Amino acid sequence: MAERRRRKRLPWISMQAQVRVKKSMISSEWVSVEVVDYNSLGMGIRPPESLAKNLQKQGTIQLSLRLETEVGEITADRVSAKVRHIAEESGAAFVGIEFEQDSKASLKESLERIESILNRHQQLSNRIYSDSREGS
């Protein structure tokens, strides 16, 4: 599949995400999903099988994100996003979502801080990996 993203997505460190799922007209619950990749514009998730079809029907969803670091955690609560596509990968659903661009400034800042930390983590991981291969 051709890459269509405006920014490269990054692997996660210890990122937790939940999607808000409506159970009825007045009740909802938060369901944990696996984070596959992330940038400040969107992310890829693997929801439980029972949730994948429901996400496609909803179109717009709400997420809660938490990235744990050594010095604390960064959270982004009630992030609105659009489901852009759902695909089957290795027997599990992969859902690509794009964050709403009209979010509050504080929410955008949190999403960008998460991306910045993930970028630094990946650069450090790449440096450690290349140093260990050179020493072999």
User: Domain residue spans in the chain?
Assistant: 15-134
Cβ-based neighbour number of residue 105 at 10 Å: 7
Q: How far apart are CA 55 and CA 51, in angstroms?
A: 6
Closest CA to 38 of 95, 88, 102, 90: 95
Tens digit of pLDDT per residue, the chain (136 long)? 566 767 666 554 678 999 998 877 788 899 999 999 999 999 999 999 888 878 877 778 999 999 987 777 889 999 999 999 998 878 889 999 999 987 788 888 999 998 888 888 888 777 776 776 776 5
SS3 106: helix
Q: DSSP code of 57?
A: H
The CATH classification number of 15-134 equals: 2.40.10.220
